[in-house]
Amino acid sequence: MQRIDLIPQRFRQGAERMAQAFRDMDQVVVAAHVNPDGDAAGAVAAACHVLRSMGKEFMVYAQPGLPAYLDFFPMPGVVHTTLEHPPFKPRCAVLLDCGEPERLGRELAARLPELMTINIDHHLGGDGMGSAANWVEPTAAATAQLMAYVALAAELPLTGDLATAIALGIITDTGGFCHGNTSADVLYLTAHMVEHGCDIALLRERLENTWSRGRLTLWGQLLQRASLERRGSVCFCPVHLEDLRKCGALKEDLEGFVEQLRRLRGVHVAAVLREDSPNCCKFSLRSYGSIDVRAAAARLGGGGHRNAAGGTLRADMAVASAQLLAAIAEELDAEGVA
């Protein structure tokens, strides 16, 4: 298959437009949403590879840095957690996988008016964040998938660390090629990278088989705590700060936990509520099929995708739990789920 054929027709114009916008930039901050996941990190790395191939100056900004489970991942450049001492005066920014300016982190969000920005994303509602160029495609499985097309439009081969970055994003956001967003386009793209040396099994191994004892203990305790609500259609688990401390686990050790709750037969919505500080809780929602947890999250000021969404509640755990379960119930009522 020709490289250009890997870009689906509907994405070609956008990919070409973004490649041109990259050429028109220099002194670039590359960033994604706070608490970056595999897609955010993969898309950021891919953008850096494109900028590097064009001879541009760039710096990676991530708040509060990359999670420890991505330690193995070759990020092209130092990850800056503040913009206070940049290696150059930033003039431009590439924003990735982030539906709202606030999710970039306060420091970068405040600097946006003075930067020329490109925005590339697959979240609904992220339109209008790029002052120089904006490309939002909710039908893309991952922002890293879109970055692959930009790289192809910039005539880069999808090999080596660039391919690893794209595969990391795709594996993360498709749940290892399992979620409903695992399109033929994603599989063609991945097949091409595998054909050219990308080792998917090794990547999965490095991502999955690195649990700490603390994480195992935490999951064991939480699996016992999870409760069924609304006659079994909702599985809910609250996680207190104390739980992490007692188990010797980190916030990021909860990555992937909410998916386990969805595995129970009859559960339509899985919900985890994590206490980050006494009056601030983060929630994660998962569903499948037509059940729209993004709508439930949006009622509480959050966002995401139809089957995977999240947000933050400024309340204590008791109040936040009630608000979260009420928003989920409203959505299930709207869908006619008993």
Nearer to Mn ion, 112 or 124 (CB): 124
Nearer to Mn ion, 97 or 137 (CB): 97
Nearer to ligand 5GP, 98 or 189 (CB): 98
Shortest Cβ 34–ligand 5GP spacing (Å): 9
Strand partners, 92: 28, 116
Shortest Cβ 309–ligand 5GP spacing (Å): 4
Shortest Cβ 304–ligand 5GP spacing (Å): 3
H-assigned helices in 272-316: 293-299
Which strand (E) or helix (H) includes residue 48? helix 38-53
Q: Does 121 bind Mn ion (CB under 5 A)?
A: no
* Residue 39 contact among ligand 5GP, Mn ion, none, beta carbon within 5 to 8 Å by kind: Mn ion
Q: Which amino acid, one-letter code, is at 21?
A: A
Among 45, 156, 173, 239, binds Mn ion (CB under 5 A): 173
Nearer to ligand 5GP, 62 or 153 (CB): 62
* Residue 136 contact among ligand 5GP, Mn ion, none, beta carbon within 5 to 8 Å by kind: none
Which strand (E) or helix (H) includes residue 143? helix 143-153
What is the distance between the alpha carbons of residues 272 and 292, in angstroms, rounded to a whole number? 16
Sheet containing 227-229, strands listed edge to edge, beginning at the edge strand earlier in sequence: 227-229, 234-239, 269-277, 280-287, 308-313, 303-304
Q: Does 39 bind Mn ion (CB under 5 A)?
A: yes
Nearer to ligand 5GP, 58 or 219 (CB): 219
Q: Does 255 bind Mn ion (CB under 5 A)?
A: no
Site string for Mn ion, 67-106 (x = CB under 5 A): ------------------------------x---------
Angle between the N-to-C axes of helices 38-53 and 160-173, in degrees from 0 to 180, rounded to the nearest 10? 150
Shortest Cβ 302–ligand 5GP spacing (Å): 4
Strands (E), the chain: 28-32, 58-61, 79-80, 92-96, 116-121, 133-136, 227-229, 234-239, 269-277, 280-287, 303-304, 308-313
Could you list the residues that contact ligand 5GP (CB under 6 A)? 99-100, 103, 284, 302-305, 308-312
Strand partners, 269: 234, 287
Task: Check residue 304 and give left, alpha or beta (phi > 0: left; psi -120 to 50: alpha).
Answer: left
What is the distance between the alpha carbons of residues 329 and 312, in angstroms, rounded to a whole number? 18
Q: Which residue is nearest to Mn ion (CB)?
A: 39
Shortest Cβ 89–ligand 5GP spacing (Å): 30
Nearer to ligand 5GP, 42 or 302 (CB): 302
CB-based burial of residue 112 (10 Å sphere; 0-12 exposed, 13-18 middle, 19+ buried)?
middle
Which residues contribute to the site for Mn ion (CB under 5 A)?
39, 97, 143, 173
